[in-house]
Amino acid sequence: MTKKRSSGLLPRYAWVPIALALVFNCFVYFILRLFVRGAVHYDLSIPLDRAIPFVPAFIVVYVLAFLQWAVGYIIICRDSKELCYRVMAGEMISKFICALFFVFLPTAMTRPEVTGSGVFERLTRLIYFLDTPDNLFPSLHCMESWLCFRCALEAKKPSPVYKYGSLVFTLLVFASTLLVKQHLVLDIPAAVAVAELGQFISRRAGAGRCLERLNNSIFGDTL
């Protein structure tokens, strides 16, 4: 009997890659902080950082990036098994590289005091409360948005409007991380470089096959 694809939001072949990516993300972003607590943190700011204004309204773009990632990875995972496994393996490789930076080159920045009682200011204060100003270089926020754009270009199903709209929004996300003082200028090119390196390694090493074998060992062949 031929097995059918899952008709849900995510096909069954994507369950293990997505679950592993979420667990690994939590480890890299939250747990590693425990290992560098008390260590010297470096300030990688440059003169351009001091010249960039603080614009609380961009906190909306910063927060909407989480929706971009959810939509982007769903689209990538639904496009094909090959793309799903390769991209998600590359994403975890990129996160591992980021983890090395977070441990061996921990960075921090000084954020401005947020005054005012408007919606944007309140939301910015909430983000500041939830997210401490470390684990900056490379920017995971920018890395994820860049991956959603780059890998959407490789996907067959999304329309050109979505693909290039994703580019525009990704650039806005980059700007938002600077304008709400969540990241420094150097964090952005580092994020792009790490994202590209992770995908390159995944492609050349065939890392997606490891995820496929793991997924099949749990769920069986899901063709």
* Residue 133 DSSP code: S
**What are the tokens at 118?**
């408007």
Give the Cβ contact number of residue 110 at 10 Å: 8
Say which amino acid occupies 4: K
Q: What is the pLDDT of residue 215?
A: 87
pLDDT in tens, 20-35: 999 999 999 889 888 8
Q: What is the pLDDT of residue 3?
A: 45
Residue with tokens 């997210």, as numbered in its chain: 131
Report, as ranges of residue numbers, the positions in the chain whose pLDDT lies below 70. Answer: 1-7, 221-223
**What are the tokens at 205?**
């090493």
Its pTM stands at 0.92
Query: What number of CA atoms fall less than 13 Å from residue 29's CA on the CB side?
Result: 17
pLDDT in tens, 148-196: 999 999 999 899 999 999 999 999 999 999 999 999 999 999 999 999 9
Q: What is the pLDDT of residue 184?
A: 98
> Which SS3 state, helix, strand or coil, does residue 108 take?
strand
Q: What is the pLDDT of residue 1?
A: 38
Displacement of CA 82 from its chain's centroid (Å): 20
Distance separating alpha carbons of residues 109 and 66, to the nearest angstrom: 22
Question: In sequence order, what are the beta bridge partners of 134?
Answer: 108
Distance separating alpha carbons of residues 189 and 186, to the nearest angstrom: 6
- Angle 5-198-108 from CA coordinates, rounded to 5°: 120
Distance separating alpha carbons of residues 39 and 80, to the nearest angstrom: 43
On whether the CB atoms of residues 127 and 66 are closer than 8 A, the answer is: no
Q: What is the pLDDT of residue 38?
A: 87
